[in-house]
Structure 1
Amino acid sequence: MQSLQDHFLLAMPSLDDSFFNRSLIYICEHNDQGAMGLVVNIPVNLSLKSLLEQVEMEQSAAINDSVDMEQIVFQGGPIAQERGFVLHSPKEGFNSSLSLNKQLMVTTSKDVLQTLGTFDQPEHYIVALGYSGWEAGQLEQEIIDNAWLTLPASADLIFKEPVHKRWESAAQLLGVDVWQLSSQVGHA
């Protein structure tokens, strides 16, 4: 199977895992070692302002009053939920960033948090706690088992689509109505 890096995983309606039900996952990394991604459509009961207060983060630049600090934080996945990940539009200068494509980067260092709410922040971003991970071959088997649909990722869907519409909107990009999908899998 080719790499699914920079793709979405769209949970099939039949996936009844309590953590991944109706989830949309952005795949940050996928290789022969396994895969890592962030859920981009399931919020936790925590605002960005509350998160920054909890980690006692002080902004290093002038506060931008036009930034909504009440925006939601996402559950990135069930692994390492104490760790934060910021999926954002390109902006250089953070200690631990990985460029994913021309429109997206992921940063795991705290220095990105110091810019949030200031004029120095990335233009677009979401904050996620934890990540989703698969061992070598595990994700491929889940796809064969009809747990996920895959499609190329869209930064607009992550940053501009309302959270509650992202799962269905991703399915529409495939040209399918998720509610018409069968949980039965066939092999020729």
Structure 2
Amino acid sequence: MTTAKPNSGFLDGQFLIAMPTMGDKRFERTVIYLCAHSEQGAMGIVINKLAPDIRFRDLLSQLDIGEPTGPEGEQEVEQIRVHRGGPVETGRGFVLHSCDFFLEDATLPISDEVCLTATLDVLRAIADGKGPSEALLALGYAGWAPGQLEMEIQSNGWLNGPADNAILFDSDLETKYDRALSKIGVAEGRLSSLSGHA
């Protein structure tokens, strides 16, 4: 089920961590989970920024999915927060989730532990209390043209390192950036002197 390409130089299933020198305000202090990376470009989801003024319950209503069913669904709906996944296709929802939930022809396995589903069916399952045990819902994504991400990493825009599900799915957004840096052995104060990748 693993889709990451060992020793290929591609970074699927890793974290991208914005350097303090990041010139794009949309990505300041962001941690991105990289869902796909190949010669065709890259796509990832920002995991530490909330979408302003949008609740999961309101999203269900807007999409005509209806109210949650049963106590499990109610609990799930209250726990899920809507993230700002990136500046591309901001009206489209993406769910990063644990691999205990899988929809044939809709779910993309990214690693042995994380999948991506971008259909309404996963939202319905969550509302019914039958969704994945861990999930992060985001509107929009971050995308890069062929070779663009590699250039940004080389020009000191990003660090990359192994993803950590405890960081990915945790609701403590304020500390995700520092914890992702710490995971690769870097303190924010030392970043300005670094270049390249971890």
Specify the alignment match of 1:123 in structure 2.
133
Structure 1 residue runs without a partner (length 5+): none
What's 2:116 paired with? 106
Q: Is 1:135 aligned with 2:145?
A: yes
**Which residue of structure 1 aligns with residue 96 of structure 2?**
87
Bigger proportion of residues as helix: 2
Alignment correspondent of 1:69:
78
In structure 2, the residue corresponding to 1:53 is in which secondary structure? helix
The structure 2 residue matched to 1:53, chosen from 43, 48, 61, is 61
Residue identity opposite 1:154 in structure 2: D
Mean Cα deviation higher: 114-123 or 35-44 = 114-123
1:17-69 per-residue CA deviation (whole Å, 9 max, x = no partner) reads 12101000000000000000000001112121121112121368545143352
Task: Mark the runs of 5 or more structure 2 residues left unpaired by the alignment.
Answer: 1-7
How many residues of Structure 1 are paired with residues of Structure 2 in the alignment? 186
Q: Distance in 2 between matches of 1:71 and 1:97?
A: 19
**Structure 2: which amino acid aligns with 1:49?**
R
Following TM superposition, where does structure 1 have runs of at least 4 consecutive aligned residues deviating by more than 6 angstroms?
none
Q: TM-score, normalised by structure 1?
A: 0.91
Matches within 5 A, 1:146-165: 146-160=156-170, 162-165=172-175
SS in 1 for 2:192: coil
Identity of aligned residues (%): 35
Q: In the alignment, does 2:175 pair up with 1:175?
A: no
Relative to the length of structure 2, the TM-score reads: 0.86
SS at match of 1:10: strand
Q: Distance in 2 between the 1:63 and 1:155 partners?
A: 26
* AA of the residue aligned to 1:125: A
